Amino acid sequence: MIRIKTYEEIEQMKPAALLVGKTLAEVSKHIEPGVSTETLDSIAEEFIRAHDAEPTFKGYEGFPASLCISINEQVVHGIPGKRTIKEGDVISIDCGCTLNDWVGDSAYTFAVKGIKEEDLKLLRVTKESLYKGIETCLIGRRLGDIGFAIQSYCESFGYGIVRELCGHGLGHVMHEDPSILNYGRKGTGAKLREGMTIAIEPMVTLGNKEVVFHNDGWTCTTMDNSTAAHFEHDVAITKNGPLILSSFEEIENAIASNNNLEII
Ligand code: MG
Ligand code: MG
């Protein structure tokens, strides 16, 4: 069942969505070669709790951490641990915050200095595809239009669209109906309605689209070990068009002042 929100509820969702961006900005100040992913996770958890919020991911279906940190060929759901960041790494970080009983869920992929040019381009195109998807979020359009916009843009660069994972509705819980696929056909699927709130999150690969799920129960990697990227925004469908509830602004300000990171 798709849970429609009032404009008042959409306003209430903003602080949770914005806190995710602030958390990712805080984390990105600490991304440098040698730092462990569990250190980044601790920084996020402390920051979220200091803002009177809960890390939504921690304990979600048994997930052990506050962030999903997925490096290079890892697509999503990487578990933070002892692994350290290296020059040239591609670091996808997904974060969820529950604040005042609303959930925010957003992801950004970071480029560590020394990144290969082809990987940097993948990140740029994946981020652009997210906005192509968002542009279609107009009352009366259909779910398939979002997927089509993302898929056709990414495939025009020869990239793969992961099929096994997708975006979702969100609200009081992280995963509501409907599923927001990153592929699809124009004019198909449920109609977009005023008051729908959804997380759009293209997961895109430099090579083949096939993925593998690992026996830690979480980590998803590309089957051909090619690099993957993941960007996610929370979006409300309103009479004035798509309203992006999350924000990359503070993340990108933090990236600009971190010499270890490349601007996407
Ligand atoms: Mg997410
Ligand atoms: Mg999500």
pLDDT digits (tens, 9 = 90+) for 98-122: 999 999 999 999 999 999 999 999 9
CA atoms within 13 A on the CB side of 66: 22
In the chain, how many domains are there? 1
Give me the pLDDT at residue 60, please: 97
**DSSP-assigned letters across all residues of 87-137:** TT-EEEEEEEEEETTEEEEEEEEEEETT--HHHHHHHHHHHHHHHHHHHT-
What separation in Å is there between the alpha carbon of 105 and the centre of ligand 1? 5
Tell whether 145 is covered by a domain: yes
Q: Which CATH number covers residue 191?
A: 3.90.230.10
Tell whether 2 is covered by a domain: no
The parent domain of residue 232 ranges over: 7-262
Tell whether 219 is covered by a domain: yes
pLDDT digits (tens, 9 = 90+) for 72-98: 999 999 999 999 999 999 999 999 999
In angstroms, the CA 137 to CA 141 distance is: 7
What separation in Å is there between the alpha carbon of 33 and the centre of ligand 1? 24
Confidence of residue 260 (pLDDT cuts 50, 70, 90): very high
What are the two backbone dihedrals, phi and then psi, of residue 70, each rounded to the nearest 5 degrees?
A: -120, 120
Confidence of residue 17 (pLDDT cuts 50, 70, 90): very high
What separation in Å is there between the alpha carbon of 56 and the centre of ligand 2? 11
**What average pLDDT does this structure show over 139-153?**
98
CB atoms inside a 10 Å sphere around CB 84: 15
What separation in Å is there between the alpha carbon of 166 and the centre of ligand 2? 8
What separation in Å is there between the alpha carbon of 263 and the centre of ligand 2? 23
Average model confidence (pLDDT) across the chain: 98
What separation in Å is there between the alpha carbon of 147 and the centre of ligand 1? 17
Looking at the CA of 96, name the nearest ligand. Answer: 1
In angstroms, the CA 84 to CA 79 distance is: 12
Tell whether 1 is covered by a domain: no
What separation in Å is there between the alpha carbon of 93 and the centre of ligand 1? 8
**What average pLDDT does this structure show over 197-206?**
98
Tell whether 69 is covered by a domain: yes
Q: Which residues surround ligand 1, an ion (CB under 5 A)?
A: 94, 105, 107, 232
Q: Specify the pairing of strand 176-180 against strand 211-213.
A: unpaired
Give me the pLDDT at residue 161, please: 98
Give me the pLDDT at residue 66, please: 98
**What average pLDDT does this structure show over 248-259?**
98
What separation in Å is there between the alpha carbon of 123 and the centre of ligand 2? 18
What separation in Å is there between the alpha carbon of 191 and the centre of ligand 2? 20
**What average pLDDT does this structure show over 160-172?**
98
What separation in Å is there between the alpha carbon of 52 and the centre of ligand 2? 21
Looking at the CA of 70, name the nearest ligand. Answer: 1
Tell whether 106 is covered by a domain: yes
Tell whether 203 is covered by a domain: yes
- The CA R_g of the chain, rounded to the nearest whole Å, is 17
